[in-house]
């Protein structure tokens, strides 16, 4: 079974990398971009075959390692 985790900074947390990308896009002539939020996608290959157990396991992984839950939120997809 596969899982995909998308991690993003929470709303209200300054996204320095996103702002740098927005500025670079503007410098390259893409003037219509007013905001950029940058995150990360993590894909996991899991031995678990039960979707519910897989989700619970990935949630624990996110809470302990994959996301800084103080400033980041995450979304899990079981594929």
58 in Cβ contact with 76 (< 8 Å): yes
Helix (H) or strand (E) holding 24: helix 16-27
pLDDT tens digit sequence for 13-72: 999 999 999 999 999 999 999 999 999 999 999 999 999 999 999 999 999 999 999 999
pLDDT attached to residue 17: 96
43 in Cβ contact with 4 (< 8 Å): yes
pLDDT attached to residue 16: 96
pLDDT attached to residue 6: 98
**pTM for this entry:** 0.87
pLDDT attached to residue 8: 97
CA nearest 4: which of 58, 71, 64, 68? 58
Where does 2-78 sit in CATH, by number?
A: 3.30.1280.10
19 in Cβ contact with 39 (< 8 Å): no
């Amino acid at each position: 079974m596969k899982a995909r985790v998308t991690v993003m900074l929470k709303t209200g947390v300054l996204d320095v990398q996103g702002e740098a990308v927005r500025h670079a896009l503007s410098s390259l002539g893409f003037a219509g971009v007013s905001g950029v939020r940058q995150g990360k996608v993590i894909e996991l290959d899991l031995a678990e075959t039960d979707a519910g157990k897989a989700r619970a396991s990935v949630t624990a992984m996110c809470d302990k390692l994959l996301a800084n839950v103080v400033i980041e939120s995450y979304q899990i997809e079981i594929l």
